Amino acid sequence: MEINLVSDTITKPTHEMLQYMFNAVVGDDVYKQDPTVIELESRVAALFGMEAGLFFPSGTMANQTAIKLHTQPGEQLIADKYAHVYNYEGGGVSFNSGVSCCLLNGNRGMITAAQVKSAINDPEFYHSPLTSLVCVENTTNKGGGACYELDDLRQIKEVCTEHNLKFHLDGARIWNALVAKNQDPKEFGKLFDTISVCLSKGLGAPIGSVLLADKKTIHRALRIRKIFGGGMRQVGYLAAAGIYALDNNIERLTEDHRRAKELAAVLQQKDWVASVEPVETNILIFSLAPQIKEADLIEKLKQKNILISSMGQGKLRIVTHLDYREVMHTYVLETLEKVIV
């Protein structure tokens, strides 16, 4: 039995989810005639109190569409140095939109209003790129699943409003943040011009993200999605998985968070572990003692059928998810207790 803790993207649809997908009523979504896609877009938009949504095959495409909506070539966005839009989207910011990134040294992937304010270029100083967009990620991937406080986001929004900047949320794991912080998604809808939410990570759908905004912006996004090659036909079968996930897989995220914290507690006691970063959600990042090689630990765990990932520079990552069951969790806890590196 292989236990894959590399990412929460590795989950497979349950039998119940597959049955729901098979029974979906579908149409041609390129013509906006797929009723299941329309239902998913409407439901997610309503959850966040936003006017409209648009279904995408990936979170990367949704984020890149948002960036293109809010910027012009030669301009600049502000983000944390760990931001997914900068580190893990193939350089799309520059390739798709001709935009540069001003990267801030935040705390575990989270930036502050003061940092944003200090990074805005003077719009009258034409030698520097025009600052036009602020992007934040919640939860932070490279920051170890850290969650923003709503008040901190409100303060950033005030800076954006004062300086006429757009505000985008990469909400790839927003569901984890909502559950961990007991937050109302509508509070996020009040703050951001656009929000991308992913269905294929914590919620266990096989594919899909939804971009949220006002109706006029989503209408513009439809053209950009087409340009990016994101127009899909009878995609309601996949949208149905998202609907099933919304109905069945949000509350259970507390289990993933509990298990990640229990794994962290064991690792904190091991002499081959130098430090364990705070765990709020389902991502656990820890650093090895200087004399320990990442490859050695990864191989020892692999021999025990446990897969984890390296982030480089002595950091390792464990991600709990829908397919990581309690019997697996007990085995991993026992293995970590016994392993000698």
For 326, the token pair is 């309690």
Ramachandran category for residue 112: left, alpha or beta (phi over 0 → left; psi -120 to 50 → alpha): beta
Beta-strand pair 52-56/273-276 = unpaired
| The pLDDT value given to residue 253 | 98
Q: What is the mean pLDDT of residues 14-19?
A: 98
For 319, the token pair is 């991600």
| Domain endpoint, select from 200, 221, 248 | 248
289 in any annotated domain: yes
Start-to-end CA span in the chain (Å): 22
What DSSP element (H or E) covers 180? helix 174-181
| Domain endpoint, select from 248, 280, 296 | 248
Do 301 and 329 lie in one domain? The reply is: yes
Do 243 and 262 lie in one domain? The reply is: no
User: How far apart (Å, rounded) are the C-alpha atoms in residues 249 and 237?
Assistant: 18
| Residues 279/307, Cβ–Cβ less than 8 Å | no
9 in any annotated domain: no
Three-class DSSP category at 115: helix
- pLDDT at position 340 over 80: no
Percentage above 90 pLDDT, the chain: 96
| The pLDDT value given to residue 1 | 83
Q: Work out how many domains the chain is built from and give that number.
A: 2
User: How far apart (Å, rounded) are the C-alpha atoms in residues 295 and 293?
Assistant: 5
228 in any annotated domain: yes
User: How far apart (Å, rounded) are the C-alpha atoms in residues 4 and 16?
Assistant: 22
| Residues 210/184, Cβ–Cβ less than 8 Å | no
Do 258 and 244 lie in one domain? The reply is: no
- pLDDT at position 171 over 80: yes
| The pLDDT value given to residue 149 | 98
Do 231 and 281 lie in one domain? The reply is: no
Percentage above 70 pLDDT, the chain: 100
Do 203 and 73 lie in one domain? The reply is: yes
The residue whose two tokens read 């950091």 is: 315
Please compute, for residue 135, the number of CA atoms within 13 A of its CA located in the half-sphere on the CB side: 34
1 in any annotated domain: no
Ramachandran category for residue 139: left, alpha or beta (phi over 0 → left; psi -120 to 50 → alpha): beta
208 in any annotated domain: yes
For 249, the token pair is 């897989």
User: How far apart (Å, rounded) are the C-alpha atoms in residues 157 and 48?
Assistant: 17
In DSSP terms, 168 is beta-bridged to 135, 194
For 54, the token pair is 């648009």
Do 203 and 232 lie in one domain? The reply is: yes
Do 79 and 99 lie in one domain? The reply is: yes
CATH classification of the domain holding 279: 3.90.1150.10
7 in any annotated domain: no
Do 178 and 139 lie in one domain? The reply is: yes
> For the chain, what is the mean pLDDT?
97
Q: What are the pLDDT digits (tens) for 64-90?
A: 999 999 999 999 999 999 999 999 999
- pLDDT at position 173 over 90: yes
227 or 340: which leads in pLDDT: 227
| The pLDDT value given to residue 4 | 98
Do 215 and 292 lie in one domain? The reply is: no
3 in any annotated domain: no
Q: How confident is the model at residue 314 (pLDDT cuts 50, 70, 90)?
A: confident
Residue 56, C-beta contacts closer than 8 angstroms, at least 6 positions apart: 62, 65, 196, 208, 209, 210, 211, 225, 230
Q: What is the mean pLDDT of residues 11-19?
A: 97
Alpha helices in 182-325 (DSSP H): 185-191, 215-227, 236-248, 253-267, 294-303
Do 140 and 210 lie in one domain? The reply is: yes
5 in any annotated domain: no
Residue 327, C-beta contacts closer than 8 angstroms, at least 6 positions apart: none
- pLDDT at position 312 over 90: no
**DSSP 8-class letter at 200:** S
| Domain endpoint, select from 199, 220, 248 | 248
| The pLDDT value given to residue 329 | 98
Residue type, 123: P
Q: How confident is the model at residue 313 (pLDDT cuts 50, 70, 90)?
A: confident
| The pLDDT value given to residue 234 | 98
Do 24 and 125 lie in one domain? The reply is: yes
By residue range, what is the domain housing residue 278? 252-338
Provide the residue count of the chain. Answer: 341
CATH classification of the domain holding 23: 3.40.640.10
Do 155 and 197 lie in one domain? The reply is: yes
Q: Is 300 exposed, middle or buried (0-12, 13-18, 19+ CB in 10 A)?
A: middle
- pLDDT at position 143 over 80: yes
Q: How confident is the model at residue 339 (pLDDT cuts 50, 70, 90)?
A: confident
Is cis: bond before 36, omega within 30 of 0?
no
